């Protein structure tokens, strides 16, 4: 019951991060029917291109072996081993091409569905793999029931195809028993090809449907609840509370750095209480006035306080202070539209310094 409720709550599509993590763990969508379809194609290739000669050669050898048993010495254990090795080699030569084709088909079907990759997580021992309850749920759960129905359907289909093909070729099959071995092999091979072609055609349709279903089901299993999406967002972007605290600390550091720079300012432009901008201009060093600090309200008052304590001239200009505050940045030069207004204030500062030197 809890599993059903949990599935109903998973209303959100899986995020890219969850999909990526799932793929890295090796949990990929896999269609078993695609592998079976590839295996039948391998069997069909074997019957069409390799089975004729292989079976004839094997049949010739076995006929000699069975018709003339006295031609084979079996007096000692060495003779028995040698004979068994010979028989095994003859059978191996007949089916070697089939085995190679099946291996290639299996690897090809797997590579077709997903890019091959080594995943250590898949071979790591896990208690859940030997858990009776987990195994029971896999066997008798929804997935297990679906696999059972597919297997049952494939069994009925295989029986139906065999009955249809054999009923159509039964007379030819029985008549072939009275012919030469090579001719009979051709009859059996033709019937086998007909059976496998029928299976391949239907399995192609089944594999296509199963391939689409496996990927759809995989996506459905990866769906997330709203809370899971929020938690993942917090993990990837950081907790909003922590981020807010970090921003606050960064602002405090920037504010302290600005305050330590105010004593080096050439002048401060202020709205009496709401805005303050500290500027520095040294004719030999700077191409234009540089903003050392700016602030509003309490920060603006603090800038004025530090400036007055260090004999930095403070000019009160409401319009200029307001417009400059919105358009200037700390540690950058002022925009060109303020050059003339600031230049007049700097001229006043230099004239005041000149007067003090004369006094």
Return the number of other C-beta atoms located less than 10 Å from residue 57's C-beta.
13
**Alpha helix ranges (H) inside the chain:** 2-9, 16-24, 32-45, 51-67, 77-113, 132-140, 142-176, 181-222, 226-237, 240-261, 297-309, 318-327, 339-358
Sign of the torsion formed by the C-alpha atoms of 50, 56, 58 and 59: positive
Structural domains of the chain in order of their starting residue, each with its CATH number: 2-114+127-234 (no CATH), 254-358 (3.40.1690.10)
pLDDT tens digits, one per residue of 305-314: 888 888 888 8
pLDDT tens digits, one per residue of 216-272: 888 888 888 878 777 777 766 555 666 777 777 777 787 788 888 888 888 888 887
Cα separation of the two ends of the chain: 94
Token representation of residue 229: 């999406």
User: What is the model's pTM?
Assistant: 0.51
Per DSSP, the residues of 87-122 read: HHHHHHHHHHHHHHHHHHHHHHHHHHHS-----GGG
User: Residue 5: what pLDDT?
Assistant: 42
Closest CA to 352 of 316, 312, 303: 312
Rounded CA separation 58/90 (Å): 6
Task: Output b/e per residue, 26-44; b: 16+ Cβ within 10 A.
Answer: eebbbbebbbbbbbbbbbb
């Amino acid at each position: 019951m809890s599993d059903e409720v949990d599935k109903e709550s998973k209303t959100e599509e899986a995020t890219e991060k969850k999909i990526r993590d799932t793929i890295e763990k090796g949990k990929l969508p896999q269609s078993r029917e695609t592998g079976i379809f590839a295996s039948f194609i391998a069997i069909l290739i074997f019957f069409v291109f390799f089975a004729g000669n292989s079976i004839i050669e094997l049949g010739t050898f076995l006929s000699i072996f069975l018709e003339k048993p006295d031609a084979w010495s079996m007096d000692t254990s060495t003779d028995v081993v040698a004979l068994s090795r010979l028989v095994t080699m003859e059978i191996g030569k007949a089916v070697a091409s089939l085995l190679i084709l099946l291996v290639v088909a299996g690897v090809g079907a797997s590579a077709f569905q997903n890019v091959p990759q080594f995943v250590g997580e898949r071979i790591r021992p896990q208690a859940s793999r030997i858990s009776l309850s987990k195994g029971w749920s896999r066997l008798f759960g929804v997935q297990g029931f679906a696999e059972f129905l597919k297997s049952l359907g494939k069994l009925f289909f295989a029986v139906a195809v065999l009955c249809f093909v054999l009923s159509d070729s039964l007379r030819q099959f029985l008549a072939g028993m009275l012919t030469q071995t090579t001719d009979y092999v051709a009859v059996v091979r033709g019937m086998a090809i007909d059976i496998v072609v029928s299976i391949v055609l239907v399995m192609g349709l089944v594999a296509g449907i199963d391939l689409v279903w496996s990927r759809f089901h995989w996506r459905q299993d990866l769906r997330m609840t709203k809370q899971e999406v929020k938690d993942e967002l917090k993990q990837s972007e950081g907790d909003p509370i922590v981020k807010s605290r970090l921003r606050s600390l960064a602002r405090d550091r920037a504010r302290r750095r600005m305050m330590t720079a105010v004593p080096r300012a050439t002048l401060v432009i202020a709205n009496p209480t709401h805005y303050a901008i500290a500027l520095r201009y040294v004719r030999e060093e700077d191409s234009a006035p540089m903003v050392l600090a700016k602030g509003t309200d309490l920060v603006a008052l603090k800038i004025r306080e530090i400036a007055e304590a260090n004999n930095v001239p403070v000019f009160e200009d409401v319009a200029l202070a307001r417009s400059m505050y919105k358009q200037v940045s700390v540690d950058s030069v002022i925009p060109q539209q303020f050059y003339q207004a600031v230049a007049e204030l700097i001229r006043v500062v230099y004239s005041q310094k000149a007067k003090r030197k004369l006094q």
